[in-house]
Chains A and B, each alone.
Chain A
Amino acid sequence: MSNSSLPEAGKPLGHFVSTAEFDPQSTEKLTPAQEKYYFASQRQLIWWKFKKHRLAYYSGLFLLFCYFVIAFAEFIAPYDLSHRHIDDIYAPPQGIHFFEDGKFVGPRVYQRIKTLDMEILKREYSDNMTKSYPIRFLCEGDPYRFWGLIEGNTHLFCVEGKGDLFLLGTDRLGRDMFSRIIYGARISLTIGLIGITVSFVLGITIGGLAGYYGGWVDVVVQRIIEVLQSIPSIPLWMALAAILPVTWSPILIYFGITVILGLLDWTGLARAVRSKLLSLREEDYVLAAQLMGAKPPRIIVRHLIPGFMSHLIASATITIPAMILGETSLSFLGLGLRPPVTSWGVLLNEAQNINVVVLYPWLILPVVPVILVILAFNFMGDGLRDAADPYH
């Protein structure tokens, strides 16, 4: 700028706009690492923080794997859900061996010797160590309809020839437990998702109304929640489950049960939404938005919901296991799902007798995936909750 551009004394200054590009960091240069951090979106910050929480990260991966498996349940399970092997009732789990006479032979199972102890009428199984069958991959077995649509009979693995492949044993009708657990996962893992969707919609709408409008709406909602919470959950489940008509098909019952689980779960979520809305409403940025003339719907959707959505997702993650366990205890009481719909709860229903624990302990195996999935959801929920507040 030269002096010649200045106006004469006493005259107003001309409006000056620099043509040079504006660089807000001209005074203080950011390192690339800093730049990456400061300019990251909230979603990215959450993701970074979540990844640092090792246990939560691997739990998340495990759950992804589980949902991947249930998407291909028909293909991964070696037998059909209701295929009855009448010669193999209450067969114990079989082991897979890779070596024979010190030589690597690939995965094989021994032939089963099946006898019936006439004195105590107990079926006894032992391995014939001299004969074994190889396990084949991508082979043909029980026919199925993939997702009820595409017909197929290819399975991920099965045994060749006349061999049996009961990795986790069989139940009282000679059905393969491993296949049943995989099919059961499809029901058990989705029941929480549908239930949580129902309770999410109810919780956010009702809690949001109470928190935003306050006044008598708030009072009424608070009372309803108090009433619902004052009645123990199991009787409520039982009563609602008892109304489902007996004539309904098992699939309709399944949806009914999930909706019931969701209908009773929203109270906690609604409370959380309400208190979050009440406190966030007082924040400066909401006032700023109001002063700029934003209408209430825009304030709620654009400014308030993103503020607590992550918290809600985290708390939802912790509620899913409660729903899975809820279904298990409903099925245990004989009020939940009914065969032929198979969930982990239905499978465990067969294991409610102490004789089972003593004689056929492999029937309690469905509890292993239950425990793993619930632990994984809890760890992931913990990680999400920590990550939900990335600046904390």
Chain B
Amino acid sequence: MLKYIFFRFMAMIPTLAIASVLIFTIVELPPGDYFESYVAELQASGETVDPEKIEYLRVEYGFDKPAWQRYFGWVWGMFHGDFGYSFEYERPVSELIGSRIFLTMLLSTVTIIFTWLIAFPIGIYSATHKYSMGDYGFTFIGLLGLAIPNFLLALVMMYFAKVWFGTSIGGLMDPEYINEPMSLAKFGSIMEHMAIPVIVIGTSGTAAMIRRIRANLLDELKKQYVTTARAKGVPPVRAVLKYPFRMSLNFFIADIGNILPAVVSGAEVVAIVLSLETTGPLLISALQSQDMYLAGTFLMFLAVLTVIGVLVSDILLAILDPRIRLQGKAQK
């Protein structure tokens, strides 16, 4: 087992190395750099540009050097806890991400719990009542959530929340609470504003989740041990929940690799529409304005989380399911 974990751990290194090169290329690919667009923007608004300051920044951040040198500088910095500097916000990247990460994680965690609360009961119901009206109905509603573009649902819900409940439009709290210390009223306001993003982001994930739970549980329910359990007189609910359900959760653990980065980045497009102060819009705007250290470091952060998530889920699967451990590969 230790050997397995060790080898899995070693395999992370080349993956992350390739990922870092890829991310650097992505951030570098669009023509021009941040300073060019910055200067153009200033000139367009009629302001004067101090060429010395721009030149200083260029040299300071190595834009006069070839790309590969900058790449190694960036990677070297990350090993030493220097995650780079955001040109647009004129603050260190770590500070910038840190200031938004709490709300993002709160939002994502609530969304994931919301998804589970809806998907699990429905998935179990659909599997045990295969091809019933309820099965079709829930599948349909789930698919509807998947089919409606998220940003549009967010817009419409935002409008009705304003009309019916008087929730202020946009943001994760009422404007007067911004920069206030945490209080009960502020927490209440956050919770009120959280409802829409949670529902909007949640609905798109629920359908896929219901389907997977249903398919996995159906596979298990066909097996003989379930028939045996029922024949021995185990009550129906127990006969489903005790073993088949637990077995069908394997896929769920295999999914941790995807959940971890999602918790940190949040749904970008929805966050933009609802102008939430999460990390998603920060990343998108950084990519658009070519604020490359901010975008690159954040993407690298997400990649590391994905790889760690996959590692954790592989190890958990190996611990939980001896069949996987013996075969030496994960099943999805």
Asked if B265 lies at the interface with its beta carbon under 8 angstroms from chain A, I say yes
A367 to B158, CA, bound (A): 17
* Residue in A234, A235, A236, A329 whose beta carbon sits within 8 Å of that of B149 in the complex: A329
Query: Would B303 and A352 count as touching, CB distance under 8 A?
Result: no
Query: Would B18 and A321 count as touching, CB distance under 8 A?
Result: no
Q: List B contacts of A275 (CB < 8 A).
A: 332
Residue of A whose beta carbon sits closest to that of B305: A230
Q: List A contacts of B273 (CB < 8 A).
A: 352
* Residue in A224, A236, A371 whose beta carbon sits within 8 Å of that of B26 in the complex: A236
Residue of B whose beta carbon sits closest to that of A376: B147
A313 to B5, CA, bound (A): 36
A328 to B149, CA, bound (A): 8
Stretch at the interface among B71-79, B97-105, B192-200, B283-291: B283-291
Query: Would B287 and A239 count as touching, CB distance under 8 A?
Result: yes
Most central of A227, A229, A348 by chain B CB within 10 Å: A227
Assess A378 versus B143: contact at CB under 8 Å? Given A328-B149, A332-B269: yes
A142 to B303, CA, bound (A): 52
Residue of B whose beta carbon sits closest to that of A357: B159
Q: Mark A349-392, 1 if CB is under 8 A from B, else 0.
A: 00110100110000010010011001100110000000000000
Query: Would A232 and B299 count as touching, CB distance under 8 A?
Result: yes
Q: List B contacts of A227 (CB < 8 A).
A: 15, 18-19, 22, 303
Q: How many residues belonging to A are interface residues under a CB distance threshold of 8 Å?
A: 39
Q: List A contacts of B284 (CB < 8 A).
A: 234-235, 238, 333
Q: List A contacts of B150 (CB < 8 A).
A: 329
Query: Would A348 and B149 count as touching, CB distance under 8 A?
Result: yes
Query: Would A239 and B159 count as touching, CB distance under 8 A?
Result: no
A231 to B283, CA, bound (A): 13
Q: Give min CB distance, A315 to chain B, whole Å.
A: 13
Q: Give min CB distance, A374 to chain B, whole Å.
A: 4
Q: Give min CB distance, B204 to chain A, whole Å.
A: 9
Asked if B112 lies at the interface with its beta carbon under 8 angstroms from chain A, I say no
Query: Would A232 and B269 count as touching, CB distance under 8 A?
Result: no
Q: List A contacts of B149 (CB < 8 A).
A: 325, 328-329, 332, 348, 367, 370
Asked if A43 lies at the interface with its beta carbon under 8 angstroms from chain B, I say no
A238 to B272, CA, bound (A): 15
Q: List A contacts of B151 (CB < 8 A).
A: 329, 332, 352
Asked if A242 lies at the interface with its beta carbon under 8 angstroms from chain B, I say yes
Q: Mark B13-54, 1 if CB is under 8 A from A, else 0.
A: 011001100110011011100000000000000000000000
Q: Give min CB distance, B209 to chain A, whole Å.
A: 15
Query: Would A375 and B30 count as touching, CB distance under 8 A?
Result: no
Determine the main DSSP class of B at the interface with A: helix
Q: List B contacts of A378 (CB < 8 A).
A: 143, 146-147
Query: Would B30 and A357 count as touching, CB distance under 8 A?
Result: no
Q: Give min CB distance, B149 to chain A, whole Å.
A: 5
Asked if B152 lies at the interface with its beta carbon under 8 angstroms from chain A, I say yes
Q: List B contacts of A351 (CB < 8 A).
A: 152, 155
Asked if B302 lies at the interface with its beta carbon under 8 angstroms from chain A, I say yes
Asked if B268 lies at the interface with its beta carbon under 8 angstroms from chain A, I say yes
Q: List B contacts of A127 (CB < 8 A).
A: none
Residue of A whose beta carbon sits closest to that of B163: A358
Query: Would A374 and B30 count as touching, CB distance under 8 A?
Result: no
Residue of A whose beta carbon sits closest to that of B304: A230
Asked if A223 lies at the interface with its beta carbon under 8 angstroms from chain B, I say yes
In the complex, which residues 274-306 of chain B have their Cβ closer than 8 Å to any Cβ of chain A?
283-284, 287-288, 295, 299, 302-303, 306
What residues make up the interface of A, taking CB atoms closer than 8 Å to B? 55, 223-224, 226-232, 234-236, 238-240, 242-243, 275, 321, 325, 328-329, 332-333, 348, 351-352, 354, 357-358, 364, 367, 370-371, 374-375, 378-379
Q: List 24 A-B contacts (CB under 8 A).
A: A55-B136, A227-B18, A228-B22, A229-B306, A230-B302, A230-B303, A231-B22, A231-B23, A231-B303, A232-B299, A232-B302, A235-B295, A239-B26, A239-B29, A243-B31, A329-B150, A351-B152, A357-B159, A358-B159, A364-B156, A370-B149, A371-B144, A371-B148, A378-B147
**12 more CB-based (< 8 A) A-B contacts, given A242-B287, A370-B147, A374-B143:** A230-B302, A231-B22, A232-B265, A235-B284, A239-B29, A329-B149, A333-B284, A354-B155, A357-B159, A370-B148, A375-B147, A378-B146
What residues make up the interface of B, taking CB atoms closer than 8 Å to A? 11, 14-15, 18-19, 22-23, 26-27, 29-31, 136, 143-144, 146-152, 155-156, 158-159, 169, 261, 265, 268-269, 272-273, 283-284, 287-288, 295, 299, 302-303, 306-307, 310, 332
